[in-house]
Amino acid sequence: MAISRQQLIKELEPGLNALFGLEYKQYADETKDIFTTESSDRAFEEEVMLSGFGEAGVKPEGQGVSFDTAQETYTARYTMETIALAFSITEEAIEDNLYDRLASRYTKALARSMASTKNTKGANILNNGFTGTGNPTYGDGQVLLIASHPTLSGNQSNILSTASDLNETSLEQCMIDIANTKDERGLKVAAKAKRLVIPTNLQFVAERLMKSVGRVGTADNDINALKHMGMIPEGYFVNHYLNDTDAFFLITDVPNGMKHFDRAPLKTSMEGDFDTGNVRYKARERYVFGASDWRGIFGTPGA
């Protein structure tokens, strides 16, 4: 349905001083703190996990060398989504000089809606990352964050064994667990945390944990080991679209982890409709968020 003069009657009246409600500030693209962006020219993208080899064995003198096999273990598939929104203005509203005032305001509102949707979709990969009814599964058949990712060397975890709130102890345990990450055949991976992603409720806790010179909440004259060792070099990032107030996440330096494929960037267009005379405005883009290697993220839903 087009926006008509009846819906905008006050804008036709003399003495109007201000229009408000469409000029709110908006958050920047917070998906960049979680995902690595790649371009795509396909309807879907697939990424295949390879197993590699296990530990090398001792070769007895005079005997043949042992042979190992490598294989594909799972495939991560990304299917592009089309995100779009539009509005139209009646021909009569345009004739009555509402065009200039409306076009700029509502095209900004359109862009704001598209940006909010993108942030929400990106954050929902984390919001729905733990075990829960209807939560999506990924290439290995499991949700993103779970203690039982199947590998050729047994199940592995990318969550804390005991769900915990954000504090010095839980964050240090995350660093230990990430350092103990293994590949599909059980070989150690030199994984490290890069950045901490948190909801707004944890920003003050994170500031104290990450930037205090000494330990937080203790009278002991101990250094803040997390800060002095540079354990999270890129610091923390607040994501305003996370739903769980005590869940927190660590993005690691494992390649091909959290992925965002950009199929068609945001594009806006306008056209007139011959039958009605209405002017229509549309915004459209295609993308998808997801994960290939679960080792690219570590988290906990909080206590």
Look up the domain containing 219 and give its range.
Answer: 31-51+77-300
Report the predicted TM-score, pTM, of the whole model to 2 decimal places: 0.88
Do the beta carbons of residue 133 and residue 300 sit within 8 Å? Answer: no
**CATH number for 87:** 3.90.1690
Q: What is the pLDDT of residue 109?
A: 85
Other CB atoms within 10 Å distance of the CB of residue 181: 19
Instruction: Please state the separation of Cα 302 from the chain's center in Å.
Output: 18
Q: State both tokens at 101.
A: 């005032």
pLDDT at position 16: 42
- Domain assignment of residue 12, yes or no: no
Task: Tell me the three state secondary structure of residue 157.
Answer: coil
Reading the block at residue 104, the tokens are 């700029």
188 in any annotated domain: yes
Residue-wise pLDDT tens digits, 151-160:
999 999 999 9
Domain annotation covers residue 240:
yes
User: Taking the chain (303 residues) in consecutive chunks of 10 residues, what is each chunk's mean pLDDT?
Assistant: 53 47 78 96 95 90 91 95 91 69 76 94 97 94 97 95 95 97 95 97 96 85 91 96 97 97 92 85 95 97 93
Task: Note the pLDDT of residue 5.
Answer: 45
Burial of 232 (0-12, 13-18, 19+ CB in 10 A): buried
How many distinct structural domains can be found in the chain? 1
DSSP symbol at 6: G
In a domain, 46, yes or no: yes
Instruction: Note the pLDDT of residue 290.
Output: 97
Residue 267 lies in a domain: yes
- Pairwise CA distance, residues 193 & 133, whole Å: 29
Among 197, 247, 26, CA closest to 117: 26
CA distance 226 to 169: 10
d(CA 186, CA 161): 19
Tokens encoding 241: 């679209």
The answer to whether residue 5 sits within a structural domain is no
In a domain, 60, yes or no: no
Res 15: pLDDT = 45
Q: Please indicate, yes or no, if residue 148 is contained in any of the structural domains.
A: yes
pLDDT at 14: 46
